A and B are shown apart, each in its own frame.
Chain A
Amino acid sequence: MMETKKEFKYFTIFNHKKEEEYLREMHKKGWRFIKVSGFGMYHFEKCEPEDIIYQLDYNTEKDGREEYIKMYEDLGWQYIQDYAGYSYFKKPVSEMNGEEEIFSDDESKNAMKEKVYKARFTPLLVLFLAVLIPQFIIQLSLANYTVATFFGVVLVIYIICFIFIGIDILKSKK
């Protein structure tokens, strides 16, 4: 019976670099990443320690999945799974010239980041502008103070979330 372990880890959607580092470190310690499930449960299997680079690509495109994975495989990257919009790949350092990444220039790296921001920010922003703010104002003007307070609290939570996401974006841009 293969020895396994599970670890709960939380990475924000913008923090995939940290997640990649974490998986690489685990493999160096002899824990091969199997899958991530639920709200961030990472499953590992005992293995020989090895330097493996893990990479995440944000790709929600449903068409051409086979061709997409084939491109990675052709270049030596093994596909692991999809999770929360990301596709997970790995490649041993021993098969690389130096250290490789799945993006070889800044333009494509930034294009992926942009895709992530757009996909995550847009629904939040729409809800914020189209529902929360108007509701807050309507309830306030109707003197429904209990309901208005409720929307007010949600608004504050939203603003706090936006600030955190903003900090995350600034950090990841460095």
Chain B
Amino acid sequence: MDAHIRKVYVPMTETGFYILFSLRKENHGYGVVQEVERLTNGEIRLAPGTMYGSLSKMENDKLIKFVREEDKRKIYVITELGSEVLDLELKRIKRLYNTIKEAE
């Protein structure tokens, strides 16, 4: 993992995290929006401009890859690099969570 990826994605935005987390299973943008809504009980509703920009950026940075197109919807899935980044994030978030737990 190069310095650029580390700098941009660790830590990552909440939007970025949920997109990458959802793309452990292949899905299209609209599907990811629905999945994130379900995961957060409707608290996070990703908007189309944000979604489109994030997917393009992650595809350029090779965190996700294009799989195929269905009915004008591009289907993506996480790459190996994407999984590495996601693991780093998961570790960081777990550490945060543990810190909070210990302080309570």
Q: Given A67-B73, A74-B29, A74-B73: A105 and B48 within 8 A (CB)?
A: no
Q: How many A-B contacts are there with CB distance less than 8 Å? A: 65
Contact of B49 among A64, A67, A74, A103 (CB under 8 A): A103
Q: Which residue of B30, B42, B52, B69 has the most chain A CB atoms within 10 A of its CB atom?
A: B52
Tell me if A75 and B53 are in contact (CB < 8 A): no
Residue of B nearest to A108 (CB): B50
Of listed B14, B42, B49, B50, residue having the most chain A CB within 10 A: B49
Bound together, the chains give a CA A103 to CA B49 distance in angstroms of 5
Q: Which residues of A contact B72 (CB under 8 A)?
A: 66-67, 70
Q: Which residues of B contact A103 (CB under 8 A)?
A: 47, 49-50
- On whether the beta carbons of B49 and A107 are closer than 8 Å, the reply is no
Indicate whether B33 reaches chain A with its CB closer than 8 angstroms.
yes
Q: Are A107 and B15 in contact (CB under 8 A)?
A: yes
Number of interface residues of B (CB under 8 A): 22
Q: How far apart sit A45 and B49, CA to CA, in the bound complex (Å)?
A: 27
Residue of B nearest to A104 (CB): B47
Are the CB atoms of B73 and A108 closer together than 8 Å?
A: no
- Set of chain B residues within 8 Å of A112, measured between Cβ atoms: 49, 53
Interchain nearest-CB distance for A46 vs B (Å): 29
One of B15, B33, B42, B69 near A108 (C-beta < 8 A)? B15
Complexed CA–CA distance, A71 and B28 (Å): 9
Q: Given the complex, which residues of B lie within 8 Å of A74, measured CB to CB?
A: 29-30, 33, 48, 73
A95 within 8 A of B: no
A41 to B73, CA, bound (A): 34
Q: For residue B54, which residues in chain A have a CB less than 8 angstroms away from its CB?
A: 108
Q: Does A146 contact B (CB under 8 A)?
A: no
Bound form: Cα–Cα A112–B54 in Å: 11
User: How long is the Cα–Cα vector from A102 to B44 in the complex, in angstroms?
Assistant: 14
Chain B residue nearest in CB terms to A73: B48
Establish whether residues A100 and B73, one from each chain, have CB atoms under 8 Å apart when the complex forms.
no
What 8 pairs between A and B have smallest CB-CB spacing? A102-B49, A104-B47, A74-B30, A108-B50, A70-B72, A72-B48, A103-B49, A104-B50
Extra inter-chain contacts (19) besides given A66-B72, A67-B72, CB under 8 Å: A57-B49, A67-B74, A71-B29, A74-B33, A74-B48, A74-B73, A75-B30, A75-B33, A89-B48, A97-B42, A97-B45, A100-B45, A102-B47, A102-B48, A103-B47, A105-B14, A108-B49, A111-B53, A112-B53
13 contacts between A and B (CB under 8 A): A71-B51, A74-B73, A75-B30, A100-B47, A101-B47, A102-B47, A104-B15, A104-B46, A104-B50, A105-B13, A107-B13, A111-B53, A112-B49
